[in-house]
């Protein structure tokens, strides 16, 4: 059963939803960008219902200045107090929960990584945002990361239809080779950049964490290019999709990955 409730955060009242379930490992969903707690196309609301049906309580909330919550919207980098207050509210509303795992997509993933330590038993971070500036302000980058452009050019060279166009003289060879040769490896991120701080946060993780990536998503591609060492530090789950918000059947894949993590014996009290 789903309940609507509210909790306090630094003098403001925040709105939240609790999907009840008997399990003692709960899921805290942190919304990305300026999305309300239901998520894009109600994706997070549906995810919460499915996880609760499988036995795990789920808590979602609108951070300050978003949706039904009071206060000023300070963006994901100032959302640490909101997350801390949400964890406390989750425990108060579902006192049988002894372990909480948090899930966030895009800049919600970055917020969870940056605002450590948190009173959590684990993190699931999807397509972490590594571009400096708010996700909603910056928008999707005009061009994919260099590695994605290189991969696309190479894929075209392996495609029989593209090769046929080459043989027919329908492809500008000079443009093709300029595209392949002009793309240089990405320079190391500046020490104070968001990408560098995310990489440092992953290196300093003090709790079980899983990174989830939609391989065709530009935000995920930028994370891979900006924080390559992070992929060797924690488990990574990859989906062959370009859906940033795990729409449609991708949502079922995401729910299955989250349930597998919540059901791990090490996360059970």
pLDDT in tens, 187-203: 566 878 999 999 999 99
Both 35 and 78 in one domain: the answer is yes
Question: What pLDDT score does 160 carry?
Answer: 72
Question: What pLDDT score does 182 carry?
Answer: 45
Higher pLDDT among residues 80 and 144, named by residue: 80
Question: What are the φ/ψ torsions at residue 3 (nearest 5 degrees)?
Answer: -120, 145
Both 111 and 175 in one domain: the answer is no
| Tally of domains in the chain | 2
Last residue of a domain, one of 132, 156, 182: 182
Domain that residue 176 falls in: 146-182
* Token couple for 148: 């994605």
Both 72 and 87 in one domain: the answer is yes
Both 33 and 163 in one domain: the answer is no
Both 120 and 34 in one domain: the answer is yes
pLDDT in tens, 43-60: 999 999 999 999 999 999
Cα–Cα distance between 77 and 58 in angstroms, integer? 23
Mean pLDDT of 170-176: 60
C-alpha pair distances (Å), 21 with each of 2, 31, 84, 157, 164? 10, 21, 22, 51, 57
Both 135 and 240 in one domain: the answer is yes
Both 195 and 169 in one domain: the answer is no
Cα–Cα distance between 17 and 185 in angstroms, integer? 44
Predicted confidence (pLDDT) at residue 244 exceeds the cutoff of 80: yes
CB atoms within 10 A of CB 191: 8
Question: What pLDDT score does 36 carry?
Answer: 97
Both 131 and 61 in one domain: the answer is yes
* Token couple for 74: 């300070």
Predicted confidence (pLDDT) at residue 239 exceeds the cutoff of 80: yes
The CATH number covering residue 69 comes to 3.40.50.1820
Both 118 and 100 in one domain: the answer is yes
Of residues 241, 202, 193, the one with CA closest to residue 220: 241
Cα–Cα distance between 131 and 141 in angstroms, integer? 9
Both 85 and 207 in one domain: the answer is yes
Predicted confidence (pLDDT) at residue 173 exceeds the cutoff of 70: no
CB atoms within 10 A of CB 43: 20
Q: What is the pTM of this model?
A: 0.83
Both 120 and 242 in one domain: the answer is yes
Question: What pLDDT score does 142 carry?
Answer: 44
Both 152 and 29 in one domain: the answer is no
Percent with pLDDT over 90 in the chain: 74
Least confident of 82-96, 114-128, 165-179: 165-179
3-state secondary structure of 142: coil
Confidence tier at 4 by pLDDT (50, 70, 90): very high
Mean pLDDT of 233-239: 97
**Which helix (H) or strand (E) covers residue 14, if one does?**
strand 12-19
């Amino acid at each position: 059963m789903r309940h609507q409730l509210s909790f306090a955060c630094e003098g403001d009242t925040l709105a939240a939803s609790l999907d009840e379930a008997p399990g003692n490992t709960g899921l805290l969903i942190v919304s990305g960008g300026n999305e309300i707690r239901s998520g894009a196309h109600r994706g997070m609301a549906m995810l919460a219902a499915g996880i609760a049906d499988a036995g795990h309580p789920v808590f979602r909330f609108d951070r300050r200045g978003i949706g039904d919550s009071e206060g000023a919207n300070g963006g994901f980098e100032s959302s640490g107090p909101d997350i801390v207050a949400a964890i406390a509210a989750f425990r108060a509303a579902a006192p049988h929960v002894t372990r909480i795992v948090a899930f966030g997509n895009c800049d919600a993933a970055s917020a969870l990584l940056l605002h450590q330590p948190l009173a959590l038993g684990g993190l699931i971070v999807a397509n972490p945002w590594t571009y400096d500036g708010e996700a909603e302000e910056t928008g999707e980058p005009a061009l994919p990361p260099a590695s994605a452009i290189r991969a696309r050019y190479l894929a075209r060279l392996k495609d029989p239809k593209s090769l046929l166009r080459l043989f027919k003289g329908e492809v500008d060879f000079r443009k093709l080779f300029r595209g392949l040769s002009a793309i240089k490896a990405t320079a190391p991120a500046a020490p104070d950049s968001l990408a560098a701080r995310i990489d440092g946060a992953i290196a300093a993780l003090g709790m079980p964490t899983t990174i989830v990536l939609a391989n065709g998503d530009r935000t995920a591609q930028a994370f891979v290019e900006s924080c390559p060492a992070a992929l060797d530090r924690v488990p990574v789950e990859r989906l062959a999709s370009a859906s940033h918000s795990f729409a449609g059947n991708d949502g079922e894949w995401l729910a299955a990955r989250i349930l597998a993590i919540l059901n791990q014996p090490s996360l059970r009290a």
